[in-house]
Amino acid sequence: MADVLLEGCDLTKHYPIKKGFLQRTVGWVRAVDGISFTIERGKTLSLVGESGAGKTTTAKAVLLQEKLTSGSILFEGRDLRKFSRSQLAREYRPSLGSVQQNPWSSMNPRMRVRDIVAEPLVVNTKKSKGQIRSRVVELLEQVGLRADHVDQYPHEFSGGQRQRIAVARALALNPSLVILDEPVSALDVSIRAQIMNLLKDLQTKSNLSYLVIAHNLATVRYMSHTVAIMYLGQIVEYGGAEELFKRPLHPYTKALISASLLRLPEDEEKGRKQIILSGEMPSPLNPPPGCRFHTRCTEAASTCSQEAPPLRKVGANHYVACLRF
Amino acid sequence: MATTKLMGLDKVSGVKRPKSIFLNLTFIIPAVVLLVAMIMAIFAPLLAPYPYDQIALTDRLMPPAFMEGGSTAHILGTDLVGRDILSRLIYGAQISLSVALMVIVITAGVGTALGIVAGYLGGRTDGFLMRVTDISLAFPAILIALLFAATIGPGYWTVVIAISMLGWAPYARLIRGEALKLRETDFVAQARIIGTSPVRIMVRHIFPNIINPLIIMSTLAVGMVILTEAVLSYLGAGIPPPAASWGNMVNDGRSLLDVAWWISTFPGVAIGLVVMAGNFMGDWLRDKLDPRLRQI
């Protein structure tokens, strides 16, 4: 078995919907509904799906920003629920880093770069000012910025440079896992490759694990070792990136891949049809019975609306939740 | 590199900005008025030709120098007991402006602290603090201040506390709204992820980002406070004589308006000028700071 850093077991997050003066719970939003995944040391797991699929909620749960309804997160084999508050603060949180989607809003406009990058160190360590200063310079150089950038404010940088600052901040505590929430989707297309390469370089250099959240399949394919396709709070397909992109099995995965590829003339010749999904994702308040995707599935059979498909092993590292496999 | 280019652009706009400041009369006139008032207040003992409480019964009710019967010894005339109006006006600036400053420091401090706590923590804390704020806003401020001053007895600190007692509420309201907005920003979320304590988030992340509205509101409050102090003094609950404040000077001349209009008029004009200067200054600052130039 590979070296597992973090494992999510049957994670569930249901948000109550409260109504009326007495704030009675009238329903639940099933944002995340029983998902499991493993993140290996030095590897990347990507969560892919439409908005509302539960990707961000999952990431928030890993970052301790959301309390799970049920399920457990194992960090280096230990259940986070058994950690005390101070243990979480001392042993778990410093091994996490986080990069947000929007580099224009993820930094306090009134703070200098030196303070932005130093904040995790100031809050979580007892390093002296001098130590922190040299660490900040080291981090900036690591992400391709110069030491003399420390006294500037975020608005003096371009989007790509800001995202580099965000990466430097995420790496300040030498984390073992970095959560990247759409790390390049807010950037110009021409800058994306730079940032992705930077992230990949840092990964091999420091043996970092990444949990990537993304829409863009090209990004996912380039960055990931493992991919989890999510739909309405559940994982519908899970597997090694190469395998999954070469041999997508779930109709939803196929549709996503088809929608993200350029249409070339030869596709028509070879009779490859583009799959276009109709309609919207159903509400997570009241998910459809059976397979949650059956309302939009192009290959749905009558049993699909009655029987919920379990996530089944179909290859060495390939799982799919569809009744047809 | 891209940064150096960006910095170059910044410098270009940096050259332009001070130019527009100095061309802008809505800035320069209020600034001069406030500066003069401040110089009067700070250097009162050096500037005033007479002590503020020097009584000269032989020189009672002397008109200003430019009127018949006036003398250059008392440029703005004298009051009922022969005190020099100009000297009292200069000393009065000291009291009126220092009351304004003290009140603004106290109300802005209290209001900002409560507003940030309410806005950032939310929930019950927010509910409780905002109800208290609502109640404070509902009271007629002058009446409460008058009641307080009448009970404690007039004096400098009575006036300061009486005006501050309810004056913090508008700040709390404004700042709470800003804090509520900032609480949802990505950078505050990031700070929470990092493990930053709520106190540190409030001090390091929320506070620096509410300074603009705070400055604007404080500038606008200058006029309000001076007026309230004048009203209290006018009603006899302000700064007790013989000390001079602009408000109690207006009050002194009230019954003599038809005989000696200058006693009330000059301090009245001074109040009017400073109040207007404060308001213009606040408006100007709001225009300058509000478009969030910094966030580009």
CA distances to A44, B13, B154 from A176, in Å: 12, 44, 66
Q: What's the total number of domains in chain A?
A: 1
pLDDT at residue B3, as a whole number: 45
Banded pLDDT at A44 (limits 50, 70, 90): very high
pLDDT at residue B12, as a whole number: 45
Residue B63 inside a domain? The answer is: no
Range from A89-98, A191-200, A226-235, A257-266 carrying the lowest mean pLDDT? A257-266
Cα(A75)–Cα(A130) distance, integer angstroms: 32
> Quick one: closest CA in A to B2, which residue?
A158
Mean pLDDT of chain A: 87
pLDDT at residue B26, as a whole number: 76
Under an 8 A CB cutoff, do B190 and A102 touch? no
Residue A26 inside a domain? The answer is: yes
Domain with B194 in it? 73-295
ipTM field: 0.86
Tokens 């597992």 sit on residue: A4
Each residue of A154-174: pLDDT tens digit?
A: 888 888 999 999 999 999 999
Residue A201 inside a domain? The answer is: yes
Domain with A316 in it? 4-320
Banded pLDDT at B22 (limits 50, 70, 90): low
Cα(B140)–Cα(B257) distance, integer angstroms: 29
Using a CB–CB cutoff of 8 Å, tell me whether B196 touches chain A.
yes
Residue B189 inside a domain? The answer is: yes
Residue A124 inside a domain? The answer is: yes
Residue B163 inside a domain? The answer is: yes
CA distances to A171, A216, B31, B225 from B34, in Å: 50, 58, 5, 14
pLDDT at residue B147, as a whole number: 86
pLDDT at residue A285, as a whole number: 83
Cα(B24)–Cα(B20) distance, integer angstroms: 6
Range from A53-57, B149-153, B268-272 carrying the lowest mean pLDDT? B149-153
- Cα–chain-centroid distance for residue B105? 9
| Residues of chain A neighbouring B4 (CB-CB closer than 8 A) | none
Residue A297 inside a domain? The answer is: yes
Helix (H) or strand (E) run with residue A166 in it? helix A159-171
pLDDT at residue A21, as a whole number: 76
Using a CB–CB cutoff of 8 Å, tell me whether B181 touches chain A.
no
Each residue of A188-219: pLDDT tens digit?
A: 888 889 999 999 999 999 999 999 998 888 88
Mean per-residue pLDDT for A242-253?
A: 89
pLDDT at residue A125, as a whole number: 87
pTM over 0.95: no
A323 in helix, strand or coil?
coil
Task: Give the tokens for residue B240.
Answer: 């007790």
Q: Residue A21: how many CA atoms within 13 Å on its side-chain side?
A: 0
Mean per-residue pLDDT for A102-109?
A: 88
pLDDT at residue A18, as a whole number: 83
Mean per-residue pLDDT for B16-39?
A: 74
Question: In terms of pLDDT, which residue wins out, B223 or B228?
Answer: B228
Under an 8 A CB cutoff, do A120 and B294 touch? no
Helix (H) or strand (E) run with residue A170 in it? helix A159-171
> Which residues neighbour B81 within 8 Å (Cβ) at sequence distance 6 or greater?
B55, B56, B57, B60
Each residue of A268-321: pLDDT tens digit?
A: 677 667 777 877 788 888 888 888 888 888 888 888 888 888 888 888 889 998
- Cα–chain-centroid distance for residue A202? 17
> Quick one: closest CA in A to B183, which residue?
A108
> Quick one: closest CA in B to A121, which residue?
B194
Mean per-residue pLDDT for B270-278?
A: 88
Using a CB–CB cutoff of 8 Å, tell me whether A82 touches chain B.
no
pLDDT at residue B129, as a whole number: 92
pLDDT at residue B284, as a whole number: 80
Q: What's the total number of domains in chain B?
A: 1
Task: Give the tokens for residue A24.
Answer: 């009675």
pLDDT at residue B21, as a whole number: 52
Report the percentage of chain A scoring pLDDT > 70. 97
pLDDT at residue B103, as a whole number: 93
CATH number at residue A24: 3.40.50.300
Strand residue runs (E) in chain B = none
Each residue of A2-23: pLDDT tens digit?
A: 688 999 888 999 888 888 777 7
Residue A53 inside a domain? The answer is: yes
pLDDT for residue B228 is more than 60: yes
Mean per-residue pLDDT for A41-48?
A: 92
| Residues of chain B neighbouring A157 (CB-CB closer than 8 A) | 3, 6
B102 in helix, strand or coil?
helix
pLDDT at residue B5, as a whole number: 47
> Which residues neighbour B13 within 8 Å (Cβ) at sequence distance 6 or greater?
none
| Residues of chain A neighbouring B3 (CB-CB closer than 8 A) | 149, 152, 156-158, 161
Residue A325 inside a domain? The answer is: no
Under an 8 A CB cutoff, do B208 and A100 touch? no
Using a CB–CB cutoff of 8 Å, tell me whether A109 touches chain B.
yes
| Residues of chain B neighbouring A93 (CB-CB closer than 8 A) | 194-195
Mean pLDDT of chain B: 82
Each residue of B242-267: pLDDT tens digit?
A: 888 888 888 888 888 888 888 888 98
Q: Contact, A311 vs A319, CB < 8 A?
A: yes
Using a CB–CB cutoff of 8 Å, tell me whether B131 touches chain A.
no
Range from A315-324, B58-67, B115-124, B143-152 carrying the lowest mean pLDDT? B58-67
| Residues of chain B neighbouring A89 (CB-CB closer than 8 A) | 195
> Quick one: closest CA in A to B200, which residue?
A123
CATH number at residue B80: 1.10.3720.10
